[in-house]
Chains A and B, each alone.
Chain A
Amino acid sequence: MKQHQDITRDRELLLGLAKGEDKSLEIIYSENFPVVLRMILQHNGSEDDAKDIFQEAIIVLYEKVQNNDFTLSSRLKTFLYSVCRHLWLKKVQRTYGLYSLSPELEEVIPATEELEAHQARDQEFRIMEGAMSNIGQPCQAILEDYYLHKRSMQEIAEKFGYTNAENAKNQKYKCLMRLKKLFFDQYNTSL
């Protein structure tokens, strides 16, 4: 009965996460991070490792609820824990080779499929990140302001000191073309 209640609460939290409520995110974060921290420390990881791994797991979760294809079948805690274990396992394998794996970690086989989609998206993110950091300023700032923060061209023109919105727009198109080129160069070769 208790577990059933828990899973209902978890589902509500996920609903909040899907809507983008910061409160849900905060609750999920603060409730589950200590367990993961403990697990990573137990397996010779650092606090930063724990933070990276846990945040990646949260991103996996976020992507899933955003896509609306996620139904929670276990407790949220269990899900996050197993995803973290899996991510940590992969990281250890990548860094040290197979030999330093502790037998306890090896027995874990969770969430393999869950992570495959995430890996593809992660790669796309990395490509976009690389392209963004390569186009330089003020292009990066202009594009982020326009496309991500949804500022109007008028605001942007004032912020970056263009004489009118039309000039700023031309600059934006130049930047956009460069970014697209950088992005698709990488994107098409890596996929």
Chain B
Amino acid sequence: MKEEMSLLRDIERYLEGEMSEQEKTAFEELRRTNPLINKQVEEHQLFLLHLGNYGQRQQLQAKLNRIHQQLDMPALRQQAQESNQAAKRLSIRRRTITNLAAAACIALVTSLSTIAVIQNVTRNKSTAQYEDVRRVLNNIQRSQNALINDINSKSKAPLNPGTYGGTGFAVSGNGYIVTNYHVVAGADSVYVQNTKGEAFKAVSIFEDISSDLAILKIADSTFKSQPLPYALKPQSVKIGEEVFTMGFPRDEIVYGKGYISAKTGFNGDTTAYQVSIPVNPGNSGAPLLDSKGDVVGIVTGKQTTSDGIAFAVKSAHLKHLLDEMPKDKQPRKEWNHKSHLDGMNRVDQIKKLEDFVYMVKVYN
């Protein structure tokens, strides 16, 4: 205890420079030889530094408190409260304006879109009842179909089912097929596929937009020609006559039966019949045949607003079109013979017919 105190006294005197020259050298020698004492000296220096800092800070804090007391606190308080309130009011006002602006924008958009929708609806009332029955192909049955293709033929037709599909039927034994213009419109390439699953590449060689008809020619060497079993009947048929059709609203040929219900088509179109027959997207271009097996029209579209109302271009226009075609492109005339289907029952007729009805696949 006593020793510690005298050491402390020595350290203090040493640090404060109160030692005589002799004492100082002696103490420095002691520091060098005794690390414990050296450590004590350093510790004391550190302590004095902290003590000094402490003093300074206390002094500063005292000064700050004094200054603080001189401040006019009530005035400052009021000032701060006022400015805070002003800021709050401003932010509330700003928020209100933002909300109002947002509400106004929504109202404007709503009313504009309502007007647009209403206008659209009124316009559609007169025009949009008519619908093409070409089909947007999807991938259902695609894989099965692809398999059939592989087995039955070495066709090079792409396995992709295509973008759009319709129906077509042969107008000559050597590969001329008629379908709707809207089926092949804008096509990059066209393939036709028969019920056996054989696919052939075809090119559109003649198109007539006004009657919505197109003539395709099979451009595939694997195609074998065969005589047509049916004939074209250019005379117009009577109302009530029973008709039937075969088309590809799906990947399978579908038979449909109905009757001629009016002699004009959509909006009084005299080039077409109104037919009461079930048609679906994909039926576009399907043949319309009477009970004797003569082609009397080509299915083109239906009325969207009511079921069972379809339209078919009259066969007279098809004949007209075939006659109009450039001579070098003309198919062989095979129309004039009598239909081989006359007098057969429907099942046999269909059996003969289905080889000449093609699914038209369009790629674009």
Contacts from A to B (Cβ < 8 Å): 22, 25-26, 29-30, 33-34, 37-38, 41-42, 47, 51, 55, 58-59, 62, 66, 121, 124-125, 128-129, 132, 143-144, 147-148, 169-170, 173-174, 176-177, 180, 183-184, 187
Which residue of A26, A42, A66, A128 is within 8 Å of B51 (Cβ)?
A128
**Interface stretch (choices B28-36, B67-75, B188-196, B352-360):** B67-75
Which residue of A59, A129, A170, A184 is within 8 Å of B54 (Cβ)?
A129
How many residue-residue contacts, CB under 8 A, span A and B? 88
Nearest chain A CB to B74's CB is how many angstroms away?
A: 11
- B87 interface contact, C-beta 8 A: yes
Chain B's closest residue to A124 (CB) is B50
Can you list 26 A-B contacts (CB < 8 A)?
A: A25-B64, A34-B80, A37-B76, A38-B80, A38-B83, A41-B81, A47-B77, A55-B68, A58-B60, A59-B60, A62-B60, A124-B53, A125-B53, A125-B57, A128-B50, A128-B53, A132-B54, A147-B55, A148-B58, A148-B59, A173-B5, A173-B9, A177-B4, A177-B5, A180-B44, A184-B43
Contact (A42, B84) CB under 8 Å given A144-B55, A177-B4 = yes
- B47 interface contact, C-beta 8 A: yes
Task: Please name all residues of chain A whose beta carbon is closer than 8 Å to the beta carbon of B56 when the two chains form the complex.
Answer: 66
Task: Please name all residues of chain A whose beta carbon is closer than 8 Å to the beta carbon of B65 when the two chains form the complex.
Answer: 55
Task: Decide: A183 and B67 in contact? CB cutoff 8 A.
Answer: no
Task: Decide: B48 and A147 in contact? CB cutoff 8 A.
Answer: yes
Chain A's closest residue to B55 (CB) is A148
- B79 interface contact, C-beta 8 A: yes
Contact (A33, B71) CB under 8 Å given A41-B81, A42-B87 = yes
**Chain A CB within 10 Å, residue with most, of B57, B59, B68:** B57
Task: Please name all residues of chain B whose beta carbon is closer than 8 Å to the beta carbon of A42 when the two chains form the complex.
Answer: 84, 87
Task: Please name all residues of chain A whose beta carbon is closer than 8 Å to the beta carbon of B9 when the two chains form the complex.
Answer: 169, 173
Task: Decide: A47 and B73 in contact? CB cutoff 8 A.
Answer: yes
Task: Please name all residues of chain A whose beta carbon is closer than 8 Å to the beta carbon of B60 when the two chains form the complex.
Answer: 58-59, 62
Task: Please name all residues of chain B whose beta carbon is closer than 8 Å to the beta carbon of A33 when the two chains form the complex.
Answer: 68, 71, 76
Contact (A147, B51) CB under 8 Å given A30-B67, A176-B8 = yes
Please report the C-alpha to C-alpha distance between residue A29 and residue B5 in the assembled complex, in whole angstroms: 44
Task: Please name all residues of chain B whose beta carbon is closer than 8 Å to the beta carbon of A37 when the two chains form the complex.
Answer: 76-77, 80
Leading 3 A-B pairs by shortest Cβ distance: A148-B55, A38-B80, A128-B54
Task: Please name all residues of chain B whose beta carbon is closer than 8 Å to the beta carbon of A34 when the two chains form the complex.
Answer: 76, 79-80
Chain A's closest residue to B65 (CB) is A55
Nearest chain A CB to B274's CB is how many angstroms away?
A: 69
Task: Decide: B73 and A29 in contact? CB cutoff 8 A.
Answer: no
Task: Please name all residues of chain A whose beta carbon is closer than 8 Å to the beta carbon of B73 when the two chains form the complex.
Answer: 47
Nearest chain A CB to B149's CB is how many angstroms away?
A: 65
Task: Please name all residues of chain A whose beta carbon is closer than 8 Å to the beta carbon of B77 when the two chains form the complex.
Answer: 37, 47
Chain B's closest residue to A17 (CB) is B60
Chain A's closest residue to B57 (CB) is A125
Enumerate B66-109 residues with CB–CB distance to A below 8 Å: 67-68, 70-71, 73, 76-77, 79-81, 83-84, 87
